[in-house]
Amino acid sequence: MERYEKAFLAVCAAVLVIFLCALGYGSVAMGVYLPSHGGTIYCNAGQKLRKVLLKTPPFDHKGVQEIAPGKYRAVVIAKTWTFTPDEIDLPAGAEVKFVATSLDVIHGFFIVGTRVNMMLIPGQISEFTYRFAKPGEYLLICHEYCGRLHHTMSGKVVVK
C-alpha cells in the first residue's frame, strides 16, 4: 500500500513541476501576462461618468497617437454597443499600448488571433501592450455579454 502512496505523491509532485514550468515558459518566453490596471476615474455625487471621462486624459483624445518612435497608444472608449474609434490603424511591427474603458456597462475587448484580451469596467482603465508583427486586418470584438446587441459590438485593427 505504501508503495502506491509514494507513486501517487511522485506523480502529484511531477504534475506540479510541469505546471510551474508551463507557467514560467508562458510568462517569460511567450510574454503572456494579465492586462494591467491603468487607473480609476472618480466621479463625485451627481456627476455623470460620461462628462468626467471625456475630460480625463487620455480619454479626451481618443484614437491612435505615436508616443515614441515605433511606439503607439490607442485610446478606446466602449459603450453599448460600439467601440470609439471602431478602426485602429497601425504600421506593422509597431508596439501599441491599448488604453480603454467603458462608459456604461462591462464590455470585453478581444482582438481575435492575438493575446489582447481585456475586460472594460466603467470607471476603471484597462491597459495592454502588444506588437502586431504581421500586416492584416484583425477583428476586435466585445466578449462580455452587454445586452441585446452585444453580438454586433465590434471593430477592427488594420495593420499595414
DSSP H/E element including 22 = helix 2-24
Residue closer to ligand CUA (CB basis): 72 or 128 = 128
> Cell for 59?
480619454
The three-class DSSP label of residue 127 is: strand
Question: In this structure, which amino acid lies at residue 151?
Answer: H
Residue closer to ligand CUA (CB basis): 72 or 109 = 109
Pick the stretch among 25-33, 39-47, 121-129, 144-152 that binds ligand CUA (CB under 6 A).
144-152
Pick the stretch among 29-37, 58-66, 86-94, 143-151 that binds ligand CUA (CB under 6 A).
143-151
| 71 binds ligand CUA, rule: CB under 6 A | no
Give the Å distances, CA to CA, from 52 to 26, 33, 57, 109, 121: 38, 30, 10, 22, 15
Q: How many helices (H) and strands (E) does the chain have?
A: 2, 11
Contact set for ligand CUA, span 76-105 (CB under 6 A):
81
Query: Site for ligand CUA (CB under 6 A): how many residues?
Result: 9
Applying CB under 6 A, the residues found at the interface with ligand CUA are 81, 107-108, 142, 144-146, 150, 153
